[in-house]
């Protein structure tokens, strides 16, 4: 019978587990002897010195000869059953791996507070003062739905463990010194395949991505336009328009894109077939698209901002900026308000429902040439011809900090992870954490010798920055630029044709009206409850006096200082004219009654009923 092999334990055996790889070749059994193969752990060749340790493990025995045996409990040490030994043979005590429970509780509380602050929708609706029962019920249901949605989002965030990975420098290294050629050897094969540089002679080029980041369109100044699935390298269409092209932008998906040509704006499909010619958009220099409202927005040398609905073809609004030609326009992704930069250093914010700008900010003493808004709508980055780049807080409309550039910033873009890409001359700089506080040095830097940057755009859900310059198009790897956790109901990079068709129908059904665009989108669906003024301010909640309520209403009706400076409309003028006419009639009536009373006194009549029969006398002139 074959003897059973003896399994050596991992803890404190005379033959360590690592000794099999350290044994000498002469101590191994002969390959031809098959009878001793299964006795590998049983038969061991004794060393010449007579010790019980194998020769191959002599070095290990010398290291451990001063240590007491774990099985020996005579010296007060723990036995092998009481003390766990790691597999790597380290002697680190288990107490070092234990964590402080108080510290863990504090960490969990901080994470919960950050999630609450992130998904907080503000204070609930004040429906206690609403007397309408149906409206009160609707507001209560809306609050319940908000709480349920917030709870679900907090739970879903726990499952989203993917985080963006940024570059980390060691020692005296700096991240902005890393070159694209060095990064190519350290990234995966898929990302390395997406890094390319196309040398094209018909520049400078504008670039744009779809919302899911799968397709890219490029347009050269001299008429070269191409649409491609850039991640796989498949070219959808390529055409030469033989006309000046100023800007290009995708519409709701990759099937349609708009091109601002020399005179009009044209709409093409992904195969390069012309679908529409928008002749009302004249001499356009910049175009943009609002995906939730299906609005194509354009502005040009005429200084007219135009909104056109791409689902119905209707011209929604046309506003005159009255600030001259405009070559700088970007949308705020949070509230769909259009931001325009003008040659007088002014930035204006527009909505289709207002013929005048919602906000007018003086940002630079020089013409504004580029701007971009963050994804959360809280920050605005502007660049001017005086080589200044400023960061603004859109909640207070105040400047936070500023940067100096070598050249004027020709293009600015902000990623989903708040990275700022700035194209200035031949230089491309990427700034990390530059919105909330001022950054000391750039995160990444790239140089295109003898070229001029025209546009920079981050690819959604990818660590890629696309840039169009005077000599072609290039894509750069920017670690940490893409959002790792994406919503497939919002934009899916891996959607199929069936999902694309379904998503297009859902977008049409969920289309928002142009009148819903405002600076604060949270006011949509909210109800303004009139404030009730209490007689005794120390006792809130008591019955309100009628006189105090009337005084509060009159105070609300009185115009404020800002409203008094506004230009009156036609209704106000008519109301003032009627008021003047009424006062004129009252003065005439009072004058007539005064003259009748004087006649009655002169005639000695006790009543004024017969005053019309009396002969009127002129009053004697006073001495």
Final residue belonging to a domain, choices 415, 450, 477:
477
- Please write the tens of the pLDDT for every residue from 128-178: 777 788 888 888 888 888 888 888 877 777 666 666 788 888 888 899 999
pLDDT at 480 over 70: yes
Instruction: Place 405 in a pLDDT band, splitting at 50, 70 and 90.
Output: very high
Q: Clarify whether residues 458 and 319 are in a common domain.
A: yes
Residue 80, pLDDT score: 39
List the beta bridge partners of residue 198. Answer: 473
Residue 234's domain comprises 175-477
Q: Clarify whether residues 61 and 183 are in a common domain.
A: no
Q: Is residue 552 part of a domain?
A: no
Least confident of 5-19, 89-103, 213-227: 5-19
Q: Is residue 109 part of a domain?
A: no
Q: Is residue 302 part of a domain?
A: yes
Least confident of 123-127, 207-211, 471-475: 123-127
Final residue belonging to a domain, choices 43, 67, 91:
67
Q: What CATH number does residue 428 fall under?
A: 2.130.10.10
Residue 3, pLDDT score: 45
Q: Clarify whether residues 439 and 314 are in a common domain.
A: yes
pTM, two decimal places = 0.64
DSSP string over 186-210: TS-HHHHHT--EEE-SS--EEEEE-
pLDDT at 107 over 80: no
Residue 566, pLDDT score: 54
Task: Please give the Cα distance from 429 to 450 (Å, whole number).
Answer: 16
Domain count, the chain: 2
Higher pLDDT, 120 or 552: 120
Higher pLDDT, 401 or 54: 401
Q: Clarify whether residues 182 and 50 are in a common domain.
A: no
Final residue belonging to a domain, choices 477, 502, 517:
477
Say if strands 420-424 and 427-431 run parallel, antiparallel, or are unpaired: antiparallel
Residue 303, pLDDT score: 94
Task: Please give the Cα distance from 474 to 53 (Å, whole number).
Answer: 64
- CA torsion, ordered 314, 320, 324, 330, to nearest 10 deg: -50
Least confident of 218-227, 345-354, 601-610: 601-610
Q: Is residue 104 part of a domain?
A: no
Q: Is residue 183 part of a domain?
A: yes
């Amino acid at each position: 019978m074959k003897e059973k092999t003896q399994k050596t334990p991992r803890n404190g055996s005379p033959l360590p587990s690592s000794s099999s790889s350290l044994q000498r070749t002469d101590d191994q059994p002969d390959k031809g002897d098959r009878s001793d193969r299964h006795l590998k752990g049983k038969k061991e060749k004794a060393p010449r010195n007579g010790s019980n340790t194998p020769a191959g493990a002599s070095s290990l025995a010398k290291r451990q000869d001063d240590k007491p045996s774990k099985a020996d409990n005579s010296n007060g040490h723990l036995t092998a059953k009481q003390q766990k030994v790691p597999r790597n043979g380290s002697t680190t005590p288990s107490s070092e791996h234990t964590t402080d429970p108080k510290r863990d509780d504090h960490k969990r509380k901080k994470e919960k507070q950050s999630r609450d602050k992130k998904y907080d929708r503000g204070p609930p609706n004040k429906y206690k003062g609403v007397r309408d029962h149906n409206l009160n019920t609707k507001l209560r249901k809306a609050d319940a739905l908000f709480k349920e949605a917030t709870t679900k989002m907090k739970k879903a965030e726990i499952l989203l463990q993917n985080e963006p990975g940024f570059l980390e420098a060691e020692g005296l290294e700096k991240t902005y010194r890393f070159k694209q050629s060095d990064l190519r050897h350290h990234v995966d094969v898929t990302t390395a395949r997406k890094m390319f540089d196309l040398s094209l002679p018909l520049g400078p080029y504008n670039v744009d991505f779809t919302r899911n980041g799968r397709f890219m369109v490029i347009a050269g100044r001299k008429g070269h336009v191409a649409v491609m699935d850039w991640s796989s390298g498949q070219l959808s269409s390529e055409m030469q328009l033989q006309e000046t092209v100023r800007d290009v932008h995708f519409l709701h998906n990759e099937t349609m894109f708009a091109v601002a040509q020399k005179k009009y704006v044209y709409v093409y499909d992904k195969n390069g077939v012309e679908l529409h010619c928008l002749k009302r958009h004249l001499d356009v220099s910049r175009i943009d698209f609002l995906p939730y409202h299906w609005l194509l927005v354009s502005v040009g040398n005429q200084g007219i901002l135009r909104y056109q609905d791409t689902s119905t073809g209707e011209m929604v609004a046309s506003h005159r900026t009255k600030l001259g030609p405009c070559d700088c326009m970007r949308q705020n992704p949070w509230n769909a308000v259009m931001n325009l930069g003008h040659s007088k250093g002014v930035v204006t914010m527009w909505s289709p429902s207002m013929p005048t700008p919602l906000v007018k900010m003086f940002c630079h003493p020089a013409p504004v040439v580029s701007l971009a808004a963050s994804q959360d709508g809280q920050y605005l980055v502007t660049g001017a011809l005086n080589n200044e780049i400023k960061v603004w807080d859109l909640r207070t409309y105040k400047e936070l900090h500023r940067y100096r550039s070598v050249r004027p910033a020709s293009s600015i873009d902000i990623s989903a992870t708040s990275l700022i890409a700035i194209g200035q001359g031949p230089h491309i700089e990427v700034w990390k954490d530059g919105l909330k506080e001022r950054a000391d040095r750039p995160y990444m830097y790239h140089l295109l010798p003898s070229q001029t940057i025209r546009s920079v755009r981050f690819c959604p859900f990818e660590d890629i920055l696309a840039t169009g310059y005077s000599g072609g198009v290039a894509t750069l790897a920017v670690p940490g630029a893409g959002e790792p956790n994406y919503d497939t109901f919002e934009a899916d990079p891996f959607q199929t044709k069936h999902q694309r068709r379904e998503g297009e129908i859902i977008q049409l059904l969920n289309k928002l009206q142009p009148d819903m665009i405002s600076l604060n989108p949270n006011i949509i669906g909210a109800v303004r409850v009139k404030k009730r003024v209490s007689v005794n301010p120390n006792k809130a909640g008591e019955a309100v006096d009628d006189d105090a309520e009337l005084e509060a209403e009159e105070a609300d009706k009185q115009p404020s200082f800002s409203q008094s400076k506004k230009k009156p409309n036609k209704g106000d003028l008519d109301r003032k004219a009627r008021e003047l006419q009424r006062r004129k009639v009252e003065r005439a009536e009072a004058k007539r009654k005064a003259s009748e009373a004087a006649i009655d006194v002169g005639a000695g009549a006790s009543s004024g009923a017969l005053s019309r029969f009396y002969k009127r006398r002129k009053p004697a002139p006073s001495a």
